[in-house]
Chain A
Amino acid sequence: MAETYTFTAKDLKEIEKITAKYPDKLSAVLPALWYAQDKFGHSDPSVQQLVAKTLGVPEAHIRGVVSFYTQFYEKPMGRNVLDVCTCLSCQVSGGYDMLHYIEEKLGIKAGETTPDGEFSVQSVECLGACGYAPMLQVTNDKFVNHLTREKVDKLIEDLRAGKKPDFESNPMPQHEKGS
């Protein structure tokens, strides 16, 4: 496995700042991995190796962490990653319908990336937005809630055009004034 990725002096300084915050190296694994994934776009085995070496923690441990979270990408992904929730609440509100619609629309299966490198789709577990089911998350960032086919069509069109979704405020009924 060739090490094709490296950290620059500036990166190393940033990572040092991260490690300085914690009493031991293992605690810095998550933020350091975020830093690496932001930089390289994924956390494939060679990135894992680089992070392990930089932090001085066992490589096996990094693999354990990366493979635990769907938010860390074990292989290079498309420019936009659609994490469609298929956990219980979304499932009963049509999460799989949404997933299959997206799969059909993009011509790929969950876990795959479109040939043009624009989209990857993943089926993920609960993202903590059960109240707005069915939902998906775009590239570890904004949630798109109350999914419908129309909403999905628009989202994909926007993303193709380079437009990221806006933050949607979804007040819970008990918080809505006057109700």
Chain B
Amino acid sequence: MPEIYIDNKRYEFEKPGKVLQFMLDKGLDLPFFCYHPSLSIPANCRQCVVKAGMPVFDREKKVFEIDDEGNRVIRYFPKLMTACSLDLADGLVIHTHETDELVKEAQADNLEFILINHPLDCPICDQAGECPLQILTYKYGPEGSRFEHKKVHKPKAIQLGPRVILDAERCINCTRCVRFTDEISKTYQLTIISRGDKNYPTTANGREFDDPYSLNTVDICPVGALTSADFRFKARVWEMNQTPSVDITNGKGCSTWLWTRDNLVLRVTPRFNEAVNDHWMPDAGRLAYRKFNENRISRPHLRPDDAGQVRTSWNNAQLTLQEELEKVTADEILVIGSPHASVEDNYALRTYFGNLGVSRFRFLPHTEPGTGDGFLISDDQAPNTNGVKGLGFDEIDEKSLIKLIETGKPKIIAILDDDLLGRTALTEEHLASSWMIVWGTNHNDTTRAANLVVPVTTAAEHAASYVNVDGRIQRTVPAKETLYTNRRLNLEMSMGRLDHYGTKFDNWVSDANRIDCIPAWEFFTRMKSDSDTIAWESSRQIMEDIAGTFPVFREVSYDRMDEENGIQLKLEQDSEVKPA
């Protein structure tokens, strides 16, 4: 197998590739800025330089030349080479800062150059704490600067587009953002203008940077030059917790990170997942932080008469549903599952009402044809359409749903988190003769029209699975505490620096943002039931049940989803679905 020597250590490589990527894959350290594994390689920052050479081969004797000490004679490139653009080659010898003084000096000198016009305003910069320039300067940079002149000034706080703000002075002109719009989002909206120490990225004259993927440039910018208009000045990164999750605003279900502080989701960023979204996600998905924080339903809401809803206790909510159920027969109940809710919650809904003898399980897909782009935005507006389908809920369209309610006049309508009144032509009049219960996360037209509203957790508060448009099942991890969960007790929740060491006297610690809600499945376990199929203690257990019941979900488990970053389901098994 071809071999390469890095700092006198031998490595073997199978596939062709570049030296820098090879080193990163092997966990070796080398500073770099402009290189990005998913973009082209311009080698313009010059931070990744190494000393490189090849063994001298005697073509006549067909042997490597050997020196007096018995080592191969190496012929080095006359200048240092950029590792990001240097191809792996059999016999290649690389020296990094670990074994070569020149490389070490070059790295420090390059950083000194890069920092010449950099404002060094880390104390007020959003990027501080997760800034490659800051980190690499600590590790490899010079002790100080020898530059005694006035720095070049450039535009600051420029609103490049609705979501992205540019500070041109911080830019190191790595062109990652430009390459992103040229190679990934293909809107070609950015360019580097001017030259020398005056250049910085911007749009064409009078054009907005309104790329639907624009915020990815903020993620990949190795400095604080591009910042998010929404997240700017909201929090320091080291004060936040970072929890893996899934985008629930779109059928594609990009893998995400939720960043929380004091139980508020402050930003959503993409999490690398080769099978779904690579390093990227659409801007729209990042707005989900508002859904998690704002307009939340806290405590059950009951409408005792026509006057309006009042808050009530959990006990009363359960008793009220029990009473209403006792008044009707199973065929007078219409149960509507939700492509917006998780597999587990839909399954719990189905199991609970199935035990009561209900056989009508419907759901209304939420697609907006023409809004998809074939990349990371799908027509499907819901994260779990395939999941509800896989659980045997019957797909129904808007017209048939309204007709079903108008003609069937169900006495009880049970809706799992889905704003049907808001997104369809269904109105309160249609529902006038029914008693309606809604499990909801946020106040909306549907919850306002309900007789009983049960507040349930969002994807930011529960562990639950969603099946994306391509049939990949992925799960969330609780990021935000509810009134009933506790970071220190729930081992799955991430603990940030503040959670470990913060006291109640810290600025950022309060309990104000914990919502009084529970996962929908938990509500069903609290209901009185003749059956023991509803004795779940966690959503993990529910998934075990589901995997044992539905062929589509066979072999799905939380452990596997965690290990493999989601599991591809074989959806064609749809037809074999056997009812629970």
Contact of A59 among B192, B196, B204 (CB under 8 A): B204
Q: How far is the CA of A67 from the CA of B198 in the complex (A)?
A: 10
Q: Would you call the interface of chain A mostly helix, strand, loop, or mixed?
A: helix
Give every chain B residue within 8 A of A62 (Cβ-Cβ).
204
The chain B residue sitting closest to A62, CB to CB, is B204
For residue A61, CB closer than 8 A to chain B, the reply is yes
Nearest CB on B from A163, distance (A): 33
A63 and B206: CB pair below 8 A? no
Within 8 A of B (CB), among A118-139: 125
Within 8 A of B (CB), among A32-62: 45, 48-49, 52, 58-62
Give every chain A residue within 8 A of B203 (Cβ-Cβ).
60, 63
B207 and A68: CB pair below 8 A? no
Contact of A58 among B196, B202, B204, B206 (CB under 8 A): B204
Q: How far is the CA of A1 from the CA of B203 in the complex (A)?
A: 14
Contact of B206 among A45, A61, A64, A125 (CB under 8 A): A45
Nearest CB on A from B576, distance (A): 50
Within 8 A of A (CB), among B181-206: 181-182, 188-196, 202-206
Give every chain B residue within 8 A of A125 (Cβ-Cβ).
196
Within 8 A of B (CB), among A53-89: 58-64, 67-68
Contact of A63 among B181, B195, B205 (CB under 8 A): B205
A60 and B195: CB pair below 8 A? no
Give every chain A residue within 8 A of B182 (Cβ-Cβ).
58
B192 and A64: CB pair below 8 A? yes
Give every chain B residue within 8 A of A68 (Cβ-Cβ).
193-195
Q: How far is the CA of A1 from the CA of B206 in the complex (A)?
A: 7
Q: How far is the CA of A45 from the CA of B206 in the complex (A)?
A: 8
Give every chain A residue within 8 A of B207 (Cβ-Cβ).
59-60
Q: How far is the CA of A156 from the CA of B191 in the complex (A)?
A: 38
A63 and B188: CB pair below 8 A? no
Give every chain B residue within 8 A of A58 (Cβ-Cβ).
182, 188-189, 191, 204
Q: How far is the CA of A68 from the CA of B198 in the complex (A)?
A: 10
The chain B residue sitting closest to A125, CB to CB, is B196
Give chain A's interface residue range (CB within 8 Å of chain B): 10 to 19
B191 and A64: CB pair below 8 A? yes
Contact of B191 among A1, A45, A63 (CB under 8 A): A63
Contact of B193 among A1, A52, A59, A63 (CB under 8 A): A63
The chain A residue sitting closest to B182, CB to CB, is A58
Given A68-B193, A68-B195, answer yes or no on A45-B188 (Cβ-Cβ < 8 Å). Answer: no
Nearest CB on B from A32, distance (A): 16
Q: How far is the CA of A160 from the CA of B182 in the complex (A)?
A: 46
Q: How far is the CA of A48 from the CA of B204 in the complex (A)?
A: 9
Q: How far is the CA of A49 from the CA of B193 in the complex (A)?
A: 15
The chain B residue sitting closest to A52, CB to CB, is B204
Give every chain B residue within 8 A of A1 (Cβ-Cβ).
205-206
Given A1-B206, A45-B206, A48-B205, answer yes or no on A60-B194 (Cβ-Cβ < 8 Å). Answer: no
Contact of A67 among B181, B188, B194, B206 (CB under 8 A): B194
Give every chain A residue within 8 A of B191 (Cβ-Cβ).
58, 60-61, 63-64
Within 8 A of A (CB), among B560-579: none
B188 and A61: CB pair below 8 A? yes
Nearest CB on B from A63, distance (A): 5
Give every chain A residue within 8 A of B192 (Cβ-Cβ).
64
The chain B residue sitting closest to A46, CB to CB, is B205
Report which B residues bind A (CB closer than 8 A): 181-182, 188-196, 202-207
Going nearest first, the 7 A-B pairs with the smallest beta carbon separation are: A58-B188, A64-B191, A45-B205, A59-B204, A60-B191, A67-B193, A60-B204
Report which A residues bind B (CB closer than 8 A): 1, 45, 48-49, 52, 58-64, 67-68, 125
Known: A60-B188, A67-B194. 12 other contacts (CB 8 A): A45-B205, A48-B205, A49-B204, A52-B204, A60-B181, A63-B191, A63-B205, A64-B193, A67-B193, A67-B195, A68-B193, A68-B195
What are 13 pairs between A and B in contact, CB < 8 Å? A1-B205, A1-B206, A49-B205, A52-B204, A58-B188, A58-B204, A60-B190, A60-B203, A63-B193, A63-B203, A64-B192, A68-B194, A125-B196
